[in-house]
Amino acid sequence: MLDDRYSLAFELYPYRQSPDQSAARPVRHPVVVVGGGPVGLATALDLGRQRVPVLLLDDHEGVGTGSRAICFAKRTLEIASRLGCSGPMLDKGVVWNVGRVFQDDRQVFDFDLLPEDGHAHPAFINLQQPYFEKFLFEQISAEQARGAPIEIRGRNRVEAIEQHDDHARLDIATPDGDYQIEAGWVVACDGARSPLRGMLGLDFEGRVFEDNFLIADIEMTQSSFPTERWFWFDPWFKSGASTLLHKQPDNIWRVDFQIGWDIDRAEELKEENIRSRLDAMLGKGVEYRLVWSSIYTFQCRRMQRFCHNRVIFAGDAAHQVSPFGARGANSGIQDADNLGWKLGLVVKGLAPPQLLESYDTERIAAAEENILNSTRATDFITPKSKVSQTFRNAVLKLAETYPFARPLVNSGRLSVPCVYDGAALNGPDALPGGPARTRVGSACVDAPVGNGHLLEHLGDSFVLLGINVDLPDLPETAPIPLRRVVFRTSDDLSGALAARYLGTGAQAVYLIRPDQHITARWSAYDPTAVQAALMRACARE
């Protein structure tokens, strides 16, 4: 009945009977998160930190083996930092900046992600997805110990759902039989195959890329490869039409071979066949251990809408991209970041349910951007016509010599946070000469202040940030809490704070949402304007 679909890397939440299973009638929970992948865990953690009771159901008892995601972007680390757990990720993860692109046996060019100074977190780390999830889980445990109302039930599989006006009813299978609960809100984080999406009969339209990718994680203790991202088009070793090599912690390397559309899956997955591709690439006599392998086809698609009455879809359940650009888990974590504070306010009765509409529009815009970028990268990597192959090869050839062609080479545009330009919650952008990168709608850009960094001062409530402006008498914003944070340009001798937040202006006031996106900015402090923008950002006007 409750067969495992995968084996576990870490057992984290073994099945235990809950009193709900013997209750006379279904027990009502304010929020039920379905699925304990990175997105479900982050959502539960965010809500629990807000003291919103949350129940997470997963049909396994921990994190599955097999790495899948390895590249975690700066914005994801910043969100994890807000949730209290970027430390262990940074300690365990591998920081990389340099990428090299090859064609055949020639280097076409190299790039440096050039992590700009003055950020607490690097542009990227590589970390196996099971670790990422384990660190989120450990933070949940730490918050539970401090009284956060988070409950996780392992080996609880949602089998059916029924929507009502003010709740949904879930049928759940366990080793001790079935039971039912009610949920004020359901957050569906049940992955790309989302059973909930199927149960509700909802669409998931998009594009399948007709190519297979063989992915192998290997342990190599003696390796001469540097900690860089290497990407080959038409590699000389002929193990795939393209090949990607990436370093992970614990001497593990990710190798990703593009092996074509018409293949015999079972045959390709035989260890001897995987090894012959690897041997051709690494050279005879290089020793390695095959840790994990799998074959994937990739798709780019999304749901038409993410909010369906009492059920809200997030992560891979709502949208799926090819991995070129590392936009899967990274964008899913941004979904959780966007949804957490909104759902928290709605459940507490501090904002109307219409606030959740903004989750739908903002994250659909983000999904569109991610799908566009990941589609273009996949089209470049796997050209589907003779003429696009010809252009692709022309670009690669020219890029060896001429800088102009290098921006046209697309082996993945790496994940950056979406800017919610023109969003309904946005207030005025009234800072003449203000930098574009901190315009209304953007995620706050980190900057050095004193001995630390700006983002760690923002926390996870609404913040009014003054730069070279005192903010006496905050406006009356009850019941929505507003915190005041004031810095002077002299708090950052590098000048980065001024460059990133003032531009040509002398002072600025920023209103920042709990997900650290900027929702309004001004050149002077006007309490009435701040109050109006805050109410608008909560859909309370």
Partner 1 sequence: MAKLNTEPNIPTPDEFYAALIAAHEGKTDTESAALNARLILLLANHIGDADVLEQALAAAQ
Q: For the CA atoms of 123, 128, 130, 135, what is the dihedral angle to 10 degrees?
A: -40
CA distance 178 to 282: 51
Is residue 367 near ligand FAD by the rule CB under 6 A?
Answer: no
Is residue 386 near partner 1 by the rule CB under 8 A?
Answer: yes
Is residue 100 near partner 1 by the rule CB under 8 A?
Answer: no
Region binding ligand FAD by CB under 6 A among candidate stretches 221-229, 325-333, 482-490, 526-534: 325-333
Class of residue 428 by CB neighbours under 10 A (exposed 0-12, middle 13-18, buried 19+) = middle
Is residue 268 near partner 1 by the rule CB under 8 A?
Answer: no
Q: Shortest approach of ligand FAD to residue 327 CB, angstroms?
A: 6
Is residue 300 near ligand FAD by the rule CB under 6 A?
Answer: no
Could you say which of 7, 22, 221, 385 contacts partner 1 (CB under 8 A)? 385
Q: Shortest approach of ligand FAD to residue 179 CB, angstroms?
A: 13
Residue 35 or 435: which CB sits closer to ligand FAD? 35
Choose from partner 1, ligand FAD, none: what does 247 bind? Cβ within 5-8 Å by kind.
Answer: none
Is residue 304 near partner 1 by the rule CB under 8 A?
Answer: no
CA distance 27 to 183: 8
CA distance 121 to 78: 7
Ramachandran sector of residue 37 (left: φ over 0; alpha: ψ -120 to 50; beta: rest): beta
Please, which contacts does 260-267 make with residues 24 or more away whose CB atoms are closer than 8 Å? 260/211, 260/212, 261/210, 261/211, 261/212, 263/212, 263/295, 265/212, 265/295
Alpha helices in 305-385 (DSSP H): 328-347, 355-381
Could you say which of 29, 60, 121, 500 contacts ligand FAD (CB under 6 A)? 60
Using DSSP's 3-state secondary structure scheme, residue 436 falls into: helix
Residue 294 or 388: which CB sits closer to partner 1? 388
Residues 121 to 150 in contact with ligand FAD, rule: CB under 6 A? 129
Region binding ligand FAD by CB under 6 A among candidate stretches 64-72, 222-230, 358-366, 472-480: 64-72
For the chain, helix (H) and strand (E) counts, in that order, are: 12, 28
Using DSSP's 3-state secondary structure scheme, residue 321 falls into: coil
Could you say which of 388, 456, 481, 506 contacts partner 1 (CB under 8 A)? 388
Is residue 540 near partner 1 by the rule CB under 8 A?
Answer: no
Is residue 82 near ligand FAD by the rule CB under 6 A?
Answer: no
Residue 191 or 435: which CB sits closer to ligand FAD? 191
Is residue 58 near ligand FAD by the rule CB under 6 A?
Answer: yes
Residue 275 or 406: which CB sits closer to partner 1? 406
* Nearby residues of 331 by Cβ (< 8 Å), 6 or more positions away: 319, 321, 366, 367, 370, 415, 418
Tokens linked to 181: 């609960």
Using an 8 Å Cβ cutoff, are 78 and 174 in contact? no
Could you say which of 189, 278, 418, 538 contacts ligand FAD (CB under 6 A)? 189
Is residue 36 near ligand FAD by the rule CB under 6 A?
Answer: yes
* Nearby residues of 368 by Cβ (< 8 Å), 6 or more positions away: 302
Is residue 368 near partner 1 by the rule CB under 8 A?
Answer: no
Q: Shortest approach of ligand FAD to residue 107 CB, angstroms?
A: 23
Using an 8 Å Cβ cutoff, are 215 and 255 in contact? yes
Positions that interact with partner 1 (CB under 8 A): 373, 376, 379-380, 385-388, 391, 395, 398, 401-404, 406-408, 410, 413
Positions that interact with ligand FAD (CB under 6 A): 34-40, 57-60, 68-71, 129, 157-158, 189-191, 195, 215, 296, 315-317, 323, 326, 328-330, 332
